[in-house]
């Protein structure tokens, strides 16, 4: 990675981290918490089985008379799980291969950062939080096809990703690359989802 980008990354991290307050620290730690969002994940899974929830342009609504709701719902849940599994595991592969230190382990930033959520693991490129949240947000948006849902879930993914920079768990490029990767995986998984839905449609006919 070019030295200019590395320097910019460090400056952004220092600038955001310097703005920390106890209130914002607690908010950002909450946003970064994986367990805090379990109710959201459960709600998305449940909505996959409710045909009326899907937008009018979704595959589910267009082919609702030809596909059993439980089969379509299960396909959607499996698509989300596949997306999450790919983003999470491949992120770890990249981290071990690139071996870019997180801000909290960077010798040039030693003693300059507030770390309310700890320094995290040794390597941070790229962000699993960003990849996972954007993967979930994009693939579920493509499946549901509801504009307001897409706006809310993408905003959620952006806030979670931003919290990783604020907490100095990741550099900005870690988060951006993670978000791009998660989005790319989501589109690939969605096309797999479409293929399975079409197979279910053909089977019913």
Q: What pLDDT is recorded for position 4?
A: 83
List, for residues 178-202, the tens digit of each pLDDT value: 999 999 999 999 999 999 988 876 6
What is the rounded average pLDDT of the residues 120-137? Answer: 94
Q: What pLDDT is recorded for position 20?
A: 85
More confident position, 205 or 67: 67
Least confident of 71-75, 77-81, 174-178: 71-75
Q: From residue 191, how far is each of 89, 122, 142 by CA, in Å?
A: 20, 35, 10
Residue 101 forms beta bridges with which residues? 123
**Cα 142 to Cα 134: distance, rounded to the nearest angstrom:** 12
**Cα 89 to Cα 114: distance, rounded to the nearest angstrom:** 29
List, for residues 4-32, the tens digit of each pLDDT value: 888 888 999 888 888 888 999 999 999 99
Q: What pLDDT is recorded for position 146?
A: 94
Q: What is the DSSP string of 80-140?
A: HHHHHHHHHHHHHHHHHHH-PBPGGG-GGGTTT---TT---SSB-SS-HHHHHHHHHHHHH
Stated pTM of the model: 0.92
What residues contact residue 186 under an 8 Å CB cut-off, 6+ apart? Answer: 83, 134, 135, 136, 137, 138, 139, 142
Q: What pLDDT is recorded for position 2?
A: 67
What is the rounded average pLDDT of the residues 137-163? Answer: 96
**Cα 127 to Cα 105: distance, rounded to the nearest angstrom:** 15
Work out the pLDDT band at 63, boundaries 50, 70, 90. low
Q: Number of helices and strands (H, E) in the chain?
A: 8, 0
Q: What pLDDT is recorded for position 204?
A: 60
- With beta carbons less than 8 A apart as the criterion, state whether 171 and 10 touch: yes
């Amino acid at each position: 990675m070019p030295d200019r980008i590395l320097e910019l990354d460090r400056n952004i991290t220092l600038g955001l981290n310097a703005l920390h307050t106890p209130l914002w620290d607690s908010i950002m730690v909450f946003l970064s918490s994986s367990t805090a969002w379990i109710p959201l994940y459960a709600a998305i899974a449940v909505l996959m089985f409710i045909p009326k929830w899907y937008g009018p342009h979704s595959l589910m609504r267009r082919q609702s008379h030809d596909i059993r709701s439980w089969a379509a719902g299960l396909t959607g849940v499996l698509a989300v799980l596949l997306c999450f599994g790919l983003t999470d595991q491949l992120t770890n592969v990249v981290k071990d291969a690139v071996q870019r230190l997180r801000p909290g382990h960077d010798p040039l930033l030693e003693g300059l950062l507030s770390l309310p959520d700890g320094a995290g693991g040794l390597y941070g490129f790229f962000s699993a939080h960003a990849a996972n949240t954007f993967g979930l947000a994009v693939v579920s948006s493509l499946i549901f096809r509801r504009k307001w849902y897409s706006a809310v879930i993408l905003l959620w993914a952006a806030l979670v990703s931003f919290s990783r920079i604020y907490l100095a768990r990741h550099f900005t490029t870690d988060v951006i690359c993670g978000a791009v990767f998660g989005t790319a995986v989501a589109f690939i998984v969605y096309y797999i989802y479409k293929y399975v839905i079409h197979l279910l449609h053909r089977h019913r006919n």
